[in-house]
Amino acid sequence: MVPFPGYLDRHRVVIARAAALLAIVGGTVYLVWRAQMITELGPAAWAFFVAEVFTFLTLVSAVPLMWTPRPRRWAPPPRGTLDVFITVANEPLEMVEATLQAALDIDYPHETYILNDGEMAGSSTSGAIEALAARFGVTCFTRTDGARGKAGNLNNALRRTDGEFVAVIDADHLARPDLADDLLGHFHPRVAFVATRQDFRLEANDWLNNTDFFFYAVIQPAKDRDNAAFSCGNGVIYRRTALDDIGGFSEWNLVEDLHTSYQLHARGWQSVYVPRPVTTGTAPSTAAELAAQRLRWATDSLRLFFWDNPFVKKGLSWRQRIHYGQTTGIYYLATAFQVVFLLCPVLTLLFGIDVLQVDSAGQYLTHLLAFGLPFAVMLVAFAGVRGAVRLVQMQSFLAPVFCVAAFRALRMRDSSTKAFSGVTRKTSQQTMSRITLLQWSIFVLLVGSVGFELARDWGIEWGAVLWALVMAVSLCAQNSMVSMKWDVTHSMRIALTAPVAVALLVALLSVWAPLPGASPTQVLAAQSGPANAPVNLDPAPQPHTRLLPPRRGVYMGVYDADFQQGEVSTAEYGDANMRILHRYQQWWGDSRDFDRTWADKVAEDGRVPMITWEPWLKPENSVTDPDQRPELLDRIADGEWDDYIERYAAAAADYRNPMVIRFMHEVNGTWYPWAAEVNGNTPQAFQRAFRHVHGIFERAGASNVSWVFGIDSHETSTEELETLYPGDDYVDWVGLSGFNWGPEGYYALERSFLAAFKSTVDLVTPLGKPVMLSEVGTSALSLDPAGWLEGALSDVRELPSVKAMVLFNADTPDADFRLTDDALGVLSRDATAKRLAPRMNSRLAR
Amino acid sequence: MQALRPPAERVPLLPAAREWRSGVHAPATAPLCTRMSIIVTDTRARSTDRILALPDEVRRRPRAAFAVLLGVAAAVYFLQLGASAFFMDEIFSWSAARQDFGQMFTQVSRVEVTPPLYYVFLHFWLDLTGASSETMMRLPSAIAGVGLVAAVAWLGTIVGDRKVGLTAGALTALSPLVLSYAQMVRAYVFVMLAATITVAAVIRLVQRPDERRWVVLAIVAGVTAILLHYTVALVFVPLGIWLLCAREVHLGARLAVLGAFAAPAVALLPLLGEQMSQGHHANGATDYARITSTGMMRLIATPFDGRAILNVMPSYQLGFVALVDAVALLAFMDRFRTLRTRWLLVGTAVFPLVLIIVVSALVNPFAVSRYTAVATPFMLVVIALVAWRVPRTVGFAILAAAFVASALGVAAANTPTGRWPDVRSATAYVGQQAERGDVFAGLTGLQFGGSNLLYEERYGVPALQFGSPEEALTAPESRAALRSDRAVFLAAWPPIEGLWQTVERSGFAVRSARQFSGGTWPVEVLEVVRR
């Protein structure tokens, strides 16, 4: 015998199964990889991760249930008596009339009844319905009291009729003449109902996915195999005795179909699903109406899941439990979680809250594709390209709806607390509702956050921009369904989609374009330039950009002896993202001018150069020489070396990119000639010298320079700090130097990271400036360099004012602070955490 | 078992029920859901005209409405016509146009990348009027701007109807880009005008193939446009293709028009080659014309780009949305299927953008709106046409976005200090302050020296051009002046940070300092004397 049409082709089932298995493997790999990088992230990232896990588990739980659809074959000839119930609430008269005529035209001998609930529904056409029934000579049951809803209406009729089988047809559905011929033959003795696929009059593109091929051709046949297919309330035939066995149609839920099926299955009855439509009717054609319908369904299903849970329901097989668990709870909750996917790009773009490791976009995409690609293939195999796209779009659209449904269902344990009921409107469908305002708000947020981000001058988060635009595009189709008029929705759809899609193209082109992007300020300013001016005029110099502390997390940086030779490679540090590359420069050394070549190379890699600028000539094999150039600070302040400073400042100003100068560091020590207590210096002279040099840079226009006031991390009093501090107008960061000297070091001092820094950080934090640990090192001869570094990367979280940590990786005459291989391994592993690789933050500093 | 019952007797359906059942109430061409909707909802056609309708008296008086439109355009363009100092481009135009033809062609071929027609016209205008003031020199552009509004209104009328025409004209009158060029001594507004007339004439030719006058008008306007600016080719490519496919027009007429366009274009190729060989544009327009997201967004919103105006990002974003929406709706909505000019309008609005973006991405950066300005009239006609033809909500939103974007741009442009750097006031100040023997030194390479020649002549203070303040202060002329206790006036735009300190470090003193606001940055003038 040949199975009914309407099942999935066998080869598509095979492809879908293979893809599903690959998706499960790929998803596992992806989630394990994600789990490794999630530990350092914040709540938003955790929510994102949980949503991913939930989505994956939904897939894992659904695949076995979808694995084998049950192909029903043509049934034996029909038998038994049939009553056809047409349930009417407040539908238009002509619609009911057409439905009635179609029901009367059913070939199989039957009795037709109109179940008129118009008075209960407050309809003004209730009397006309009775007249209509009289005209056609059919019985009309008009209720004036009893349980509200369709179930009450059906039960009222059930008590007054006696056919062996009961066909239920909604008032907006036209029955096909062979309705009973195909279905009645399936009623073996234990079969309680035969459900069918729903068919609607829809526009060609079915933007609201009313067709739902995936559900009717994949899910229901698979449920049918496990005797778990459920009635959709229309085009279904019930066995009267089965209904009697459960006391009639279930009135516990808002709509009767799901819970009635559930009760019948729990009582041991069987069901049959035939994937062939036997009626054709109307469906929601506006997003608001669809949202209202799905809210009703979702609330109903989740209410069942929460308060009559299938996993503890007596009488169900374990496979039925999983099917009902999936249908009534897991699907809705997993979809609701997708709100996270919609909102995360907004959080990133508007508030700088990152949920993914930005610096590993390629790696992320690779892992994501391992899951996403087979998942997409599975969907396409199951539902076709259009069906798959619609499924994904509807998931995004319905996510907020299901969130609301979950909250409503939790509050509706008792059937007396039903907050609402009703049927989908067939006429004058609502065009906007509170629910669709949610989707619109999300759409506006997505688009607005992209606009906000694109207005930034530097460091645009292209990943989040693209993500937001893709999400916005996916919402366009459903959001545009604001009217029952096709031309309105069509134009709305184009009007919403086109700018977002073009913006997506623009963003992709901007990412792809091989030329480095100019900042918007450059573009804006430069557009005022000459239209056909002579060559080489540059009317819009690049604006100066200054480094700001990260909005979250800590910049990592490093001093490497190779940097002194002009190198910029950080390959040694593996995946650790070294944002700040640090080198030292002496005023009277061999290379005393600003090394633009090195700085440019640093900037090319998207990093920031930091120069510890030292007014001395470092002695051979020593880091101490406090007596160079007596009264050094006063002489600096008096302008003795202004020519050099000005030259340096001009070069720094010309650089224009963010850079950091740590000038006269560790002033609270005694080992450098600029220290406040030695060499004829005073704290006041230090302040004067610092301000003087700062002023020269300011006048040179070097507003791209961030200034670090650096002290050594040893016991220092607040008073001493105050006498040294040059002032808020002259300092951008407060820098601290601190080391674990190890037993062999100059100080023979083994101390933890917190012991080295915490008290000094506490001391300088009240200054209100971001703190930079500008020299952080541990002796290679210390007890456990790798463990010390691991502790440092972790413990820095306890110092919230610390916004940058610059490692010291070099051998010195005092101690060998080179990072051991183990320590480098720790760095490569731990410093990749998002907390230690925040996005760069800067501002224009004109 | 209950006895089987026979089917009920058939009762004739009422017409409405019959229609509902058959689903054929609506026209057969409409999608099924529309047909359903027509049955189940109250879908009495509501004209989009209602919400956007013009007042009755205006509708009854088309000429009055047109006059009002031109009046608004004139008010917008003539208001503050002379408020801004000349931008350097304008001074280049003046500089070329005031010379005899031989020198003019030489200068144009070396400095500009445009054909010479505009400078010839300007030459005669200067001769005729003796114009040297900002207002008089810009007057032809402002008049052409008003003419452009009229031309766009005409184009809108013949591709749509009077409402479309008036709306397109209003958008043009308020377009920040058109305003910018209508107050500028440059060829852009003229080429927009000529291109609009050409396109309108070609459309008229297709609509009325028997009227030869449209052939003549198309040829005259088209050749003029080509001789005004090379960028008109970006419009003429889609126009040519469209005309070539227009079988309503006799092949001879089509070839005549296209041949007339091709002839001057070919003739200009040597000049273009010479201009390009000068190095100008060899590596693209400038550094800032590279592909960036904001740059492209601003480029796409060409009609709303007020050029010299900063901080009007919402204007570009709204303009971007309005234009992309309008073009997409025109291209993809079925209701425009029967519009004969559909693909011509889409092509003239989109092709310049696409080509400039592709060239900027693949070859050299040219992504600035001056190269797509020629598409502005067609973009605005598309917006107006679509706004009147799509459902009212969408149409209203598009028009609102377009007008708000325009208003923001126009408001930002009309500042009391003008839109360009106020080199006029700066030079006048030097002219007032300077005494015999003083030196006027221009810095930073822009606006002073050759490009400020007009003002230097007007105020009698010829400027020397230097690359840096140090260079200016150590030049023999400056040293001589300072040695003899004369002053050196250092003028800079954009301002040089730390200029004052640089002067003092060089051993001199600043006797006075003035800043003249205007445009994106002020002009700074320091009077330097010996300490």
Q: What is the mean pLDDT of residues B30-56?
A: 39
Q: Which one, of B37, B16, B41, lies nearest residue A128 by Cα? A: B16
Q: Pick from B17, B325, B451: which is nearest to A94 by CB?
A: B17
Count of beta carbons in the 10 Å neighbourhood of residue A181: 16
pLDDT at position A521 = 34
pLDDT bin (cut points 50, 70, 90) of residue B205 is very high
Q: What is the mean pLDDT of residues A621-642?
A: 87
Rounded to whole angstroms, the Cα distance separating A306 from A321 reads 14
Q: How far is A161 from chain B (nearest CA, A)?
A: 11
Question: Over 50: is that where the pLDDT of A122 sits?
Answer: yes
Q: How far is B129 from chain A (nearest CA, A)?
A: 26
Question: Over 50: is that where the pLDDT of B367 sits?
Answer: yes
Question: Over 80: is that where the pLDDT of A264 sits?
Answer: yes
State pLDDT tens for residues A571-587. 888 878 888 999 999 99
Q: What is the mean pLDDT of residues B443-470?
A: 75
Contact across the interface for A506 and B297, Cβ inside 8 Å: yes
Q: What is the mean pLDDT of residues A520-549?
A: 43
Give me the phi and psi of A625, to 5 degrees please: -165, 80
- Judge whether A78 and A164 are in contact, CB under 8 Å: no
pLDDT bin (cut points 50, 70, 90) of residue A526 is very low
pLDDT at position A40 = 57
Rounded to whole angstroms, the Cα distance separating B239 from B198 reads 9
pLDDT bin (cut points 50, 70, 90) of residue A794 is confident
Contact across the interface for A490 and B286, Cβ inside 8 Å: no
- Judge whether A454 and B293 are in contact, CB under 8 Å: yes
List CB contacts (< 8 A) between B292 and chain A. 510, 513, 517-520, 523
Residues 799-828 of A with CB under 8 A from B: none
Q: What is the mean pLDDT of residues B168-182?
A: 95
| Chain B CB within 8 Å of residue A700 CB | yes
State pLDDT tens for residues B387-444. 999 998 899 999 999 999 999 888 887 777 677 888 888 899 999 888 888 889 888 6
Contact across the interface for A94 and B16, Cβ inside 8 Å: yes
Nearest CA in chain B to A514: B361
Q: How far is B68 from chain A (nearest CA, A)?
A: 31
List CB contacts (< 8 A) between B113 and chain A. 532
Q: What is the mean pLDDT of residues B280-288?
A: 59
Q: Which one, of B400, B408, B429, B433, lies nearest residue B516 by Cα? A: B429
pLDDT at position A203 = 72
Contact across the interface for B390 and A530, Cβ inside 8 Å: no
Q: What is the mean pLDDT of residues A683-708?
A: 89
Contact across the interface for B313 and A520, Cβ inside 8 Å: yes
Claim: this prediction has a pTM higher than 0.80: no
| Chain B CB within 8 Å of residue A504 CB | no
Average pLDDT, chain B: 83
| Chain B CB within 8 Å of residue A510 CB | yes
Question: Over 80: is that where the pLDDT of A778 sits?
Answer: yes
Cβ-in-10-Å burial (0-12, 13-18, 19+) of A43 comes to exposed
Contact across the interface for A532 and B329, Cβ inside 8 Å: no
Percent of chain A's residues with pLDDT above 70:
89
Question: Over 70: is that where the pLDDT of A259 sits?
Answer: yes
- Helix residue ranges, H only, B130-212: 134-159, 162-173, 176-182, 188-207
Report residue A546 as tokens: 């200054």
Tell me the range of A362-366, A563-567, B132-136 where mean pLDDT is highest.
Answer: B132-136
Question: Over 90: is that where the pLDDT of B311 sits?
Answer: no
Q: Pick from A137, A526, A701: which is nearest to B9 by CB?
A: A137
List CB contacts (< 8 A) between B177 and chain A. none
pLDDT at position B179 = 93
Greater confidence, A524 or B70?
A: B70
Contact across the interface for B4 and A203, Cβ inside 8 Å: no
Question: Over 50: is that where the pLDDT of B47 sits?
Answer: no
State pLDDT tens for residues A70-86. 777 777 788 889 999 99
pLDDT at position B307 = 61
Question: Over 50: is that where the pLDDT of A519 sits?
Answer: no
Percent of chain B's residues with pLDDT above 70:
83
Average pLDDT, chain A: 84
| Chain B CB within 8 Å of residue A494 CB | yes
| Chain B CB within 8 Å of residue A429 CB | yes
pLDDT at position A21 = 93
- Judge whether B523 and B423 are in contact, CB under 8 Å: yes
Q: Pick from B43, B317, B325: which is nearest to A451 by CB?
A: B317
Contact across the interface for A105 and B393, Cβ inside 8 Å: no
Q: What is the mean pLDDT of residues A630-648?
A: 89
Question: Mutate which of B294, B298, B382, B408 to test chain A, going by most A C-beta atoms within 10 A?
Answer: B294
Q: What is the mean pLDDT of residues B371-384?
A: 96
Q: Pick from A80, A488, A527: which is nearest to B393 by CB?
A: A488
The residue whose two tokens read 């300077």 is B434
List CB contacts (< 8 A) between B19 and chain A. 94
Rounded to whole angstroms, the Cα distance separating A792 from A796 reads 6
pLDDT bin (cut points 50, 70, 90) of residue A830 is confident
Q: What is the mean pLDDT of residues B443-468?
A: 75
List CB contacts (< 8 A) between A211 and chain B. none
Report residue B493 as tokens: 């735009």
Rounded to whole angstroms, the Cα distance separating B357 from B362 reads 9
- Judge whether B493 and B524 are in contact, CB under 8 Å: yes
